[in-house]
Amino acid sequence: MNNIKDSDIMKQIEFELEEKHVEEVIHTIKDEILKYVDKRKQFTDYLLEYRKKAIEEYKDDEDKIIEYFDHERFIKEEAYKSFDRKLIELTKLKVSPYFGSVEFKEDKFAPEKMYIGRFGLTLEDEYEPIVVDWRAPIASLFYKGKIGKSSFEAPDGKIEVDILKRNQYVIKSGELKGLFSSEKDVKDEILQEILCSNTSEKLKDIIMSIQEEQDEIIRLPYNKSSIVDGVAGSGKTTIALHRIAYILYNYRKQLEDKVLIFGPNMIFMDYISNVLPELGETGVPQDTFHEFVIKALKLKSVNSYDIFLSSIFHNDDEFINDYKFKNSAEFKCKLDNIIKDLENNLLATEDIVFRDRLVASKEEINEMFLEYYKSMPLYRRSRKIRRILFNKLTSIRNEIFYEIDREYKEELNKLSDSERNIQENNIALNRRMKIEELIRNVMKAKDELAYLKGENILKYYDEINNEKDLNHQDLAPIMYLELKLNGIRHDGEIKHIVIDEAQDWTNLQLEVIKEYTKCNNFTIVGDCNQSMLPMDRENVLNNFESILDNNILKFKLNKSYRSTKEIMEYANELVVNTDIVPLVRSGEKVKVEEKVKVENLAQKIEEFYNKSKEKGYETSAVICNSIAFSKEIKNKLSKELDVKLIDSEEVYLNKGNIIIPVCYGKGLEFDAVMMITEEFDTPKAQYVMATRALHELTHLKL
């Protein structure tokens, strides 16, 4: 009994000490905010004073004045950007300065205690940080799985330490609300609290609850490519986004403005849009493959991704077969053979002769094609050779012109003054006619070399495509031809690419993005059980290794943190190849209704929304198999019921009642889900529907 009381007393003392530490740190943060506001003002005053002097000095030189203001604007923007960034960080820290601490000991040194926060805080002229940024290498100690011997990667190499204790804090509005000692396993009380809370219309960061296996991936060097095959709810998206925040923090000079994110659709991109800004990173481009290629190639006649999805989910056999074929190894082989045929057709079959003079022999031309410029894309190669031949033609033209001019002068010199008066005009006319004929001959010769300009790729692809409408499955092949024939490349420099929901990417998509951007470093995350598009191969993620030519690190994440144990066990039964380990978080049993009549759907859906609202859920979603069926369901509901239909990429999520087709559900999560399925719905589609639910799942089978 005394031991229990002593333990409680020690906990209370520790809580009060930590409470005092929170107050001290927040007081320091407030002082820092005032300092930065004052620094910003001083900088503004300095600029104003300096501007007065500059204007007075350069008042008679307009160019100098313009140059000064351009320079001042740049300096001001950069300085204000730095001040404002720090002020934003300090303002966020003021509310919750840190979320964890770790006590550790290096060999021969006294024990240290380090507090971990969203952002770091080190006072001017001081070495020891008050709060360590979660992205700092040493902060990895907080995310280790156990107390005891451990290590972290410092700039000078690995440092061995002994972890003595780890604390987690709940600090809200500047007040310490909770203190937990934790070994960061799945029984972590804070993790349970986070997972049991309701979701919102935006994805949240997970810095407080990053697990050890997630942290290992996040902290990889930026030049290491990784493929993460993770089950639904394993945190793949949040891992990828936190990885971006980590590498930008640690490799900012190398990577700033050089990172690119690909997601499955614009709804998803909007859903994740808050995470990086909350972690202090802004301006990282986010796009879908579909939109990225359309913009890169300036295509104007491609059907929208919505139309593509509708054709797939309406089970249009002809369309699906076309999709499969254009993303097959067989089709890529066909494209390569076409390129080879084009090369063979461009090879010279005879010498190029101009007015009985040899411009270039066929052997010389073919040697340029097959040896000298072999590394160049075909049409760039042919245009290069065409320019060389034009230069040779120009040289011969100049020789002939000089001969005509010499003959003209010689003929004039032979004439007496009286003969010149009579014949000079005729001789000049003859000269002009010879020159005009020479020009016509040159133009004709150049026209005969027009085939070396190369075809318009889109026009050429239309012939391959039998003039059919262009769809999503045509984008990768078109870009492949543009790369191989015209050698296009991305304007900017990209050094790291993140691809989320990669299970619906194809080898050709990855190959063209890699070649177009010249980027060799990728973070690819996906779940093969959530593949929504028809593929001939079961696990597409395994096929990506052959395309990424640097050292690939592969990770398999089986632990799900999203849904309750009951929901994940139900989802496990829907697909064959899954080995999900659900977090021990129990909830309500999954409600299943068989042979539900369509005419009863409206009543059941309205009851579902009402019950979800009574339980305090923030987001409640009805998920079905297609955009068309989603619209049909929406039309059945009472007009007075506030329901948002997600029927295109232009519609974004918000809180409340949602109707959404499964094709737009990838990566999203909702407090309560009602999935409506028909007999022909694939197990994978049903699996995706089920795994969107956090707390409650209802399954209506029509």
pLDDT digits (tens, 9 = 90+) for 164-182: 998 989 898 899 988 888 6
State the pTM of this model.
0.84
> What is the per-residue pLDDT for 69?
56
- Residue 317, H or E segment: helix 317-326
3-state secondary structure of 60: coil
Count the neighbouring beta carbons within 10 Å of the beta carbon of residue 218. 24
> What is the per-residue pLDDT for 185?
45
> What is the per-residue pLDDT for 643?
93
Residue 672 has pLDDT above 70, yes or no: yes
- CA of 551: how far to CAs of 176, 515, 554, in Å? 45, 17, 10
Long-range CB pairs of 632-637, under 8 A, 24+ apart, other chains included: 633/601, 633/602, 633/605, 633/659, 633/676, 634/659, 636/601, 636/602, 636/605, 637/602, 637/605, 637/606
- CA of 191: how far to CAs of 60, 184, 197, 209, 210, in Å? 67, 9, 10, 6, 9
Question: pLDDT-derived band of residue 666, with 50, 70 and 90 as boundaries?
Answer: confident
Residue 276 has pLDDT above 50, yes or no: yes
Residue 87 has pLDDT above 70, yes or no: yes
The answer to whether 493 and 258 have CB atoms below 8 angstroms apart is: yes
pLDDT digits (tens, 9 = 90+) for 222-275: 888 999 998 888 889 999 999 999 999 999 889 989 999 999 988 888 888 888
